[in-house]
Structure 1
């Protein structure tokens, strides 16, 4: 009888889809069977704006505790939702190759961002997205929303209730002109047909770690050598360097994943380039900076993130972003 490893996940369609993708890859590589464990997190049961739900990690805490208590051998997270400080006893064993990093506009009538009417109502639960939208156009009305991806899509006029399979129900809420969602999540769910524009990072820098998954195990390993090797094989060094730079910047700015901070790193040849933006929550002021490192290593990436953050802090980024 084959050994079985247990993978923990939240119960949302996106979480189970992401976990299913990772579990399948690991099962194929390791030769092990897989059992999925559903874990309800605080972020799934508390209502209210996401930015006010107790800071970073609100969706990850229960899943991590389940992993620490040996209720599962592996947890799969959206990396952008994880606090920058790694908890004692857990390690990110693998960060697979990143999906599309961009934010996506899902608007009525196929409209692009510049084509939305004056005073258009745009839904998002992210202060980072809200600030950059207002920096682009002050007339936008930002509406705080939460819920899973189909629920958010259902708020857009003409889209209605979009089910997990991409179909549209008869009930139409339609109180918004558009919503902003992560392109990666839309693509993973097969809902990218509703994207009317992939937002250029020059307009909207994504969240640090956006588009990347984090596969987490106990520091002592998963208790399955074949799984540990499969995790090592799935780890994608270019993606890990990118997100390490972005998250090091976020940590040095002492900003959580709900802060109006965007960051995106990319590898060009032997150079790692990091771009970052700090925004006033009302979009009235933004500070955008970039830096590069000629060393391609995780350590060099972390140093690049910290160095750029220190430069931005010296120029007043914390004041701009309302972090002090």
Structure 2
């Protein structure tokens, strides 16, 4: 008897469908089972308010999780940066596949890079994190830009540049790559200038925790290095008591001597959206040998950032 197809819950956006399709292909190869995509509309997709106004945290994942718990789908794919840091009762994070490029990408008119934008350039982004760091970069480099809050899918956002309404927009490089549009980026922003969101570039595969066979089947897609890195980043976010719409950037790198990985470096930043104040620190520790080690590194850096005043900066994140 042929097993029924696994039902993969996904948002309807072009990017979500693309990344869910890539996961579906990987699951087919790993399990030999057919996978069908089930499109689900989330509150974050239908609301026209800016993410900071609607809360940000979980607005793109709640409907998918409800479908999982009701048994309407067997597993779901999320952009990890959209996932709340607290575990969800009844659900398991079965796999975090290998991460795509975590950097932010600039899509600007006339092939411009950030430091060559004209005086007074209008740069669109829906992220307080990006606003904080872009404005701080501009201040430190003698540039004058205006960050403009925007919503919409990739086509909509790039359309603002094509129409001349904006001089540039900033998007996740991973998203552009997954939909085959990475060539439209005019610059990949260095992480020394703009740290990505915690978990940016990574995907999360969730399924019911009580389906041990499915958890085991999906776990073959897990990349332990990616999971360790994003665990540290998300631990930092959780310890700062900040949601995914807060102006917090974080990136964990596994470093080595060319033969083996020897340590993990975690960088974090919190800032006011006008870029006038940033708290930016880093910490280095041994390569995590357990989930707890990665969590501990994130908490340690969060403690240092809070001691430098990070909590007060997050209170100024409203757009």
Report how far residue 221 of structure 1 moved.
Answer: 2.0
Query: 1:140 and 1:86 mapped to 2: Cα distance?
Result: 39
1:283 is aligned to 2:275: yes
Deviations 1:44-98 (A, max 9, x none): 1111112112330101101110011111000000000111111111111000000
1:245 is aligned to 2:235: no
Query: 1:321 and 1:52 mapped to 2: Cα distance?
Result: 14
Contact 2:5/2:36, CA 8 A, preserved across alignment: yes
Contact 2:229/2:254, CA 8 A, preserved across alignment: yes
SS in 2 for 1:154: helix
Query: 1:323 and 1:241 mapped to 2: Cα distance?
Result: 30
Long gaps (5+) in structure 1 = 160-172
Contact 2:272/2:316, CA 8 A, preserved across alignment: no
SS in 1 for 2:92: strand
Aligned partner of 1:261 among 248, 253, 256: 248
Per the alignment, residue 56 of structure 2 pairs with: 55
SS in 2 for 1:137: helix
Per the alignment, residue 96 of structure 1 pairs with: 97
Query: 1:323 and 1:144 mapped to 2: Cα distance?
Result: 15
Report how far residue 228 of structure 1 moved.
Answer: 3.4
Per the alignment, residue 206 of structure 1 pairs with: 196
Query: 1:116 and 1:323 mapped to 2: Cα distance?
Result: 27
Per the alignment, residue 258 of structure 2 pairs with: none
Contact 1:281/1:322, CA 8 A, preserved across alignment: no
1:310 is aligned to 2:311: no
Query: 2:64 and 2:73 mapped to 1: Cα distance?
Result: 9
Per the alignment, residue 216 of structure 2 pairs with: 229
Query: 2:154 and 2:293 mapped to 1: Cα distance?
Result: 35
Deviations 1:240-280 (A, max 9, x none): 00000000000000011111110000111221110001111
1:196 is aligned to 2:197: no
Query: 1:78 and 1:193 mapped to 2: Cα distance?
Result: 21
SS in 2 for 1:200: coil
Query: 2:219 and 2:296 mapped to 1: Cα distance?
Result: 23
SS in 2 for 1:278: strand
Deviations 1:15-39 (A, max 9, x none): 0001000011001110111111111
Query: 1:50 and 1:228 mapped to 2: Cα distance?
Result: 31
SS in 2 for 1:277: strand
Query: 2:45 and 2:27 mapped to 1: Cα distance?
Result: 27
Query: 1:151 and 1:182 mapped to 2: Cα distance?
Result: 14
Q: How many residues align?
A: 306
After superposing on structure 2, the runs of 4+ consecutive aligned residues of structure 1 that deviate more than 2 Å are 227-230, 320-324
TM-score by length of 2: 0.93
Contact 1:183/1:198, CA 8 A, preserved across alignment: yes
Deviations 1:169-193 (A, max 9, x none): xxxx320000000000000000111
Q: 1:89 to 1:323 in 2, by over 3 A?
A: farther
Long gaps (5+) in structure 2 = 256-260
Query: 2:316 and 2:50 mapped to 1: Cα distance?
Result: 18
Q: 1:217 to 1:323 in 2, by over 3 A?
A: farther
Query: 1:55 and 1:129 mapped to 2: Cα distance?
Result: 15
Contact 1:278/1:288, CA 8 A, preserved across alignment: yes
Contact 1:281/1:321, CA 8 A, preserved across alignment: no
Q: Which moved more, 1:46-55 or 1:24-33?
A: 46-55
Aligned partner of 2:146 among 127, 141, 144: 141
SS in 2 for 1:259: coil
